[in-house]
Amino acid sequence: MNRSTLNGVKTALLLGVLWAVLLGIGGALAYATGSWMYIIVFGVLGLGSTAYSYWNSGKLAIRSMNAREVSEAEFPWYHQTVRELAQKAGKPMPRLYISPTPSPNAFATGRNPENAAVCVTEGILGLLSERELRAVLGHELMHVYNRDILTSSVAAGLAGIVSSIAQLFMWMGMMGGNRNNNSNPIALIGMLFMALLAPIAASLIQLAVSRTREYDADHDGAELTEDPLGLASALNKISGGTARTPLKETPAMDSVSHMMIANPFAGKGRALFSTHPPMADRIKRLEEMAGY
C-alpha cells in the first residue's frame, strides 16, 4: 500500500472514529433522557450547518481574506500556470484570487472542481520563485480534486454536533442527572466526564483529518507538477515567512486557517493541536519522493 492510499485509509478510519464518538455520546444522552428527540434535533442542526458551510465555503474564505478575483490580463503567469496544471489533471479551470496580505500563504476552496477557487497572498507572490509558486499551486489544486473541502466540512460538522450534544449533557449533569439514575453519583460523574472528554476527542480527530489531507495534497501536488523539491523549497520559505509575519488570529481567520498551505498563526506548532503537520516532516517526505 503506497503512502497516498494509506493516508486515504487513515482519513476514512478517523471519520469512522468521529462517527463512533458521536454515536456514543448520542446513545448516552438518549439513555439519560429516555428519548431520542435531542439526538434528532442536534443532528438536523449539525447537518444543516455542515451543508451551509460546505456550500458557501468558497465565498466565506475569500471574504475572510479580503481577496479579489484577478484576470489573465493582470496576472498572465498565474492564469497560464493554473490552466496548464488543471488541463494536465483533466479538471476545469478554477477562479483565481489574490489577497492583499503580506503573510505568505495560499489556499484553495470550493465545493467541487467545477466551483473551485485558488487564492494566493501578495506575500507569497513576493517570496517564492515561479518554480516554487507552481509547486504551491499544484498542492492547492489537489485539495480541490481530492474533495478535501467536503471531507473537512463533514469532520467539522460531526465535531460540532458532538460539542453541542456534550454541552447539553453537561447542563443536564449540573442540573442533577436524569430520571433513570439521578440517585447514582457514579452515573452523574460519568455523564460529566463524557461531556468534557467527547468534544476534546472530536476536535483532535478533526485536526488529525486535516493534517492527513495536507500530507496527501503535498504528495499528489508534487506528482501533478513532477517537482517535489520545488514544493519542499516553497514550504521551507513559507515557514520562515509566516513566522516573521503571522496573521492576527480572529474568528474569521480561524475559519479559513485550516485551508492554507501553512499555519498562518504564531506559536501554534505543536502537532497534536495543529491543523497542519510539522513542516519538517512535510519537507522530509517530499525529499524522499525525489529520492533524497
Active site residues: 140
Q: Which residues of 84-109 are buried (b: 16+ CB within 10 A; e: fewer)?
A: ebbeebebeebebbbbebebbbbbbb
13: left (phi over 0), alpha (psi -120 to 50) or beta: alpha
The 3-state secondary structure of the chain reads: CCHHHHHHHHHHHHHHHHHHHHHHHHHHHHHHHCCCHHHHHHHHHHHHHHHHHHHHHHHHHHHHCCCEECCCCCCHHHHHHHHHHHHHHCCCCCEEEEECCCCCCEEEECCCHHHCEEEEEHHHHHHCCHHHHHHHHHHHHHHHHCCHHHHHHHHHHHHHHHHHHHHHHHHHHHCCCCCCCCCCHHHHHHHHHHHHHHHHHHHHHHHHHHHHHHHHHHHHHHHHHCCHHHHHHHHHHHHHHHHHCCCCCCHHHHHHHCCECCCCCCCCCCHHHCCCCCHHHHHHHHHHHCCC
Phi then psi for residue 124, to 5 deg, are -75, -30
For 266, other C-beta atoms within 10 Å of its C-beta total 14
In DSSP terms, 109 is beta-bridged to: 117
